[in-house]
Amino acid sequence: MLRVFSALREWFGLRARMSEERLFHLDRAVADLRALGMTNREAKRMARIRFGGRRHSHAGLRELGGDLRGLAHLFRAHRVVTSLWLQPAVLLTAVALIFAVSPSQREIVEGMLGHTLGPEVHEAVALSVYGAGPGSPGITQEEFESLQSMATVTGAERSGPHQVRAQPVRGVTLAAITSEAGVRTGNRGFYAAWVLRQPKVVTSPAKVVWLLIVLYGAFFLYARTCLRVTPRWLLYAASVACLHSLVSILAWALATQLWGGTSWHTSTTAGLSFSLLAVAYLLTAASQCLYWWHDLRHRCPVCLDRLLLSWTQGETDRILLSAAVTESVCAHGHGVLVESRWSRDFRPEESPLQGLARV
């Protein structure tokens, strides 16, 4: 971030210089006009007319480099885009924006954690039979009708062949519900369990996608980092990857939250929009991974600064003879990255004293 501050300091310095120059010449013009006999007010008004309005000031800033185009030029000159902290800063800003835009930040957090926050809320009770498996007949119609007539629960309805969900009467316990279910149905195998409130935002699909990406990324790094990398490089790669996954999952949570809050006219429209959302999410995640790897492979494995002064020798259309070889240099003298169609290797810079020591 020092590069950003340096660029902004220089940019604000140019604007301050422009303002000081303008004020100096305005004061000189006012002094000359007052020497001709004008009043102070008339002299200031005539001096402003002589120097023009804001259009002339903007033209001066543009020539001096104090406008937005000049700021972009300073960002390039200070290599802000290649800064080590650019990606983390952008990703953390994206996290803040997601929480700012979200209609309910608590739902986003609960979706990320996978469980609800605060005290447990017993919204419903589930009635099942001990030992019921896929091959069992399930709850019979007579048993279901008996459960509907219970006094400790209301609104009993089927939740599959082996379970019935109902609303508990206020203040009732699980033991009382279990006892009445056994008496009503004549089946002592019935038991009751609370159904806890589930998060409204489901992030499981996004977590599965990023779990697969992390597994492949770990193997990819292990296979591709045969060039001499440092623990610092690996730590930076893992940290930025975690930030990318966090932003991606939060973006999925926000998108599904907004999708769930939209009133769709038909189920077909809702299903089509959700499919498009899923495709857009997968493409965005793939773009994040590609950018993450492209940024890593062009950084020095020692100091993590972006390599520069790329120089290509040979012909790009050749495969064997005179094939193109690109060399990129670390600005701090740590070595040279040599890339070709067939190989990629980082050659550390070695001082002559190290060579003499080996001899």
**What digits encode the pLDDT tens for the residues 204-258?**
889 999 999 888 888 777 766 655 667 888 888 889 999 999 999 999 999 988 8
Distance CA 305, CA 344 (A): 18
- Is-contact 74 14, C-beta < 8 A? no
Question: Residue 341 phi/psi, 5° resolution?
Answer: -65, -25
Q: Which pair of tokens denotes residue 345?
A: 């290797």
Q: CA of 202: how far to CAs of 107, 206, 210, 294, in Å?
A: 9, 9, 15, 31
Convert the pLDDT of each residue in 267-310 to its tens digit.
Answer: 888 889 889 999 999 999 999 999 998 888 888 877 887 787 77
**CB count, 10 Å around CB of 200?**
16
Q: What integer pLDDT is reported at residue 131 of this predicted model?
A: 67
Rounded alpha-carbon distances, angstroms, from residue 237 to 1, 134, 240, 242:
18, 46, 5, 9
- Return d(Cα 41, Cα 150) in angstroms, integer: 92
DSSP assignment string, 266-327: SHHHHHHHHHHHHHHHHHHHHHHHHHHHHHHHTB-TTT-PBPEEEEEESBTT-SSTTB-EEE
Contact yes or no for 209/285 (Cβ under 8 A): yes
Is the CB of residue 324 less than 8 Å from the CB of residue 313?
yes
Q: Name the one residue in this structure whose structure tokens are 């623990």.
A: 231
pTM: 0.67
Ramachandran region of residue 322, left (φ > 0), alpha (ψ -120 to 50) or beta?
A: left
Query: Coil, strand, or helix at residue 151?
Result: coil
Contacts of 308 (CB under 8 A, 6+ apart): 79, 82, 328, 329, 331
Residues present in the chain in total: 359
What pLDDT is recorded for position 6?
Answer: 74
Q: Which residues of the chain register pLDDT less than 50?
A: 351-359
What is the per-residue pLDDT for 355? 45
CA torsion sign, 148 to 153 to 156 to 158? negative
Is 310 in contact with 326 (CB distance < 8 Å)?
yes
**CA proximity to 156, closest of 125, 190, 129:** 125
Q: Which of 264, 128, 138 is nearest to 195 (CA)?
A: 128
The CATH code for residues 122-196 is: 3.30.70.100
Query: Residue for token digits 């809702």?
Result: 270
Identify whether the C-beta of residue 150 lies closer than 8 Å to the C-beta of residue 180. Answer: yes
| Cα of 281 vs its chain's centroid, Å | 12
| CA 343, chain centre distance (Å) | 32
Instruction: Domain ranges for the chain, please list them.
Output: 2-77, 86-105+202-297, 122-196, 308-358
